[in-house]
Structure 1
């Protein structure tokens, strides 16, 4: 059994977004459209379910007729210590492209590094690590 896996509903660009996250994080991506899932609450060619499996796991879909697309306020998806410092620094840089850095990746008073950003799809991320001694 795995831990918490975010499930994001996109406003019609789930395939693009999930492919983007695969390009950043790697892993295996599976995309299923509404037609393949015999769903009728959205366009048949829209993404009805997507899964990115790897070091970072995300699921998502295009929002259905009665669904709201994701809007992130008051929260971040946290990748604190999820990988080594070099990988996390790269993820921060990659996710920043086309997005907005809220607080740059930097050393904190307690010795750890972290930073926050909003990516090009409006998803907020907290990324950081404890430096290796």
Structure 2
């Protein structure tokens, strides 16, 4: 398997969230497609949704891409409280773990502060300001 890449649904703030994620992770957007780019006779888009994101990818390292979209209004809102999955980030050092944790958790809610864990890793957990849950961990045994 080459990679497993998480795909996140947002309620209209994908571009804001991914601009924020890019400021923390770096990387480049692999592709940005807006709903208006797909609009045509077979797929009509409401005017208020034309500029919403249908697909965005943020390249994170060699084979990893974080992917997202805005959920169109006709599909109903995304309920962040129902999303019980987390995005796991495996850092290459404690410094990188701190940078990612401290960057992404700004404006969010820390569920477990980053630090030494009982199982021998350096880890922390939080929900970012967009309602996405993250675990950031550095495992010195895995280096």
TM-score category of the 2 structures, normalised to the smaller one: 0.7 to 0.9
| TM-aligned CA distance change 1:90 to 1:120, over 3 Å | same
Q: How many residues align?
A: 132
Structure 1 unaligned segments of length 5 or more: list them.
Answer: none
Residue 74 of structure 1 and its aligned partner are, at CA, apart by 3.1
Give the match for residue 31 of structure 1. 32
SS of the equivalent of 1:91 reads: helix
| TM-aligned CA distance change 1:13 to 1:73, over 3 Å | closer
Structure 2 unaligned segments of length 5 or more: list them.
Answer: none
Q: TM-score, normalised on structure 1? A: 0.86
Per residue, is there more helix in 1 or in 2? 2
Structure 1: 4+ residue segments shifted above 6 A: none
CA contact (8 A) 1:9 1:70 kept: no
Is residue 62 of structure 1 aligned with residue 70 of structure 2?
A: yes
CA contact (8 A) 2:86 2:133 kept: yes
Provide the C-alpha distance between the structure 2 equivalents of 1:14 and 1:53, rounded to a whole number of angstroms.
15
Give the match for residue 58 of structure 2. 52
Q: TM-score, normalised on structure 2? A: 0.80
Residues 34-73 of structure 1: CA distance to partner in whole angstroms, max 9, x if unpaired?
A: 1113353551111111111122521111101215426254
Computed over aligned residues only, the root mean square deviation of the Cα atoms, in angstroms, reads 2.2
CA contact (8 A) 2:36 2:45 kept: no
